[in-house]
A and B are shown apart, each in its own frame.
Chain A
């Protein structure tokens, strides 16, 4: 999904790094083999990235500058409009901003603007990640029922964290595209909470 913009901009000192928050490399393999990315395409079964960056849903993107500093905090963006009807998000808005930044036509956010848009993890979020970590370890050791207890506890502690609530469904024998997911989504959105939370400048709304 991001291979096109990588090819377009890679000669301008730009790299794309994609990270699959899947329960196994095998779950991510069909997507990666279809996309044939020339950029690093990584697998994160233990949600290392999610914990380090406070990622609570997918897709989540960040921009990191040449000095290794975050210049766009967690944002929602797709590389193409494949899911536009479902998400209501126009991929071209973020892609245009990304191109302008990489080409040096427009600066990214200033430090105070980045901080102002960061959603920092709470104690409950980190407790939920510990529950996920224990669940993941138990799952890897062939203890799916014990794992499910911790995944469910994690989801209850951080109900906005869909890397836990939805991301663990395949480890709990639940179809992550099926009726349980749809029921969760309806309940969430009817409570007035958006499933995707793009930053204001890429939300595509005035």
Chain B
């Protein structure tokens, strides 16, 4: 098994490690919410075309790094630890921030109770990121 953390959510998937490459089984791709069709990599009826030279598919599976490149998403990989983190692209972050719609989030307080930013809609909000360091 191999852990792919998809924007914060870990998925245990079927994959093999070959040197510095990680090869996903078709089931692993489905576990991540994607299917490979002639149109490209598809999810919820929307397909991302796969360039011919993407190196996505091989006899032993789907190359995780190529998968991330096709989706234009950053990938941090640790084959020794059998884990990878699939982040969000700069383009997607820039698009949302540039729209000026404040990205919503839910985070816990000290007692573990979740709070959602959008619950404060209708008020002016000062959002402060700080740390003990």
Contacts and interface: CB of A to CB of B under 8 A. Distances in A.
B78 A121 contact: no
B105 A49 contact: yes
Interface string B119-133: 011111111111111
Contacts of A129: 74, 87-88
B27 interface: no
A70 B100 contact: yes
Nearest to B81: A146
B97 A123 contact: no
- Interface size of A as a range: 35 or more
Interface in A54-91: 54-55, 58-71, 73, 79
Interface string A137-180: 11000010010011001100000000100110110000011000
Contacts of A55: 129
Interface of B: 3, 5, 8, 10, 74-78, 80-81, 83-90, 93-94, 96-98, 100-105, 107-110, 115, 117-118, 120-133
29 contacts: A14-B126, A17-B120, A17-B127, A17-B128, A18-B128, A19-B129, A22-B133, A40-B109, A41-B109, A52-B103, A54-B93, A58-B130, A59-B130, A63-B125, A68-B117, A68-B118, A69-B100, A70-B101, A101-B124, A115-B98, A130-B76, A134-B5, A134-B84, A137-B3, A138-B78, A146-B81, A154-B76, A163-B131, A176-B133
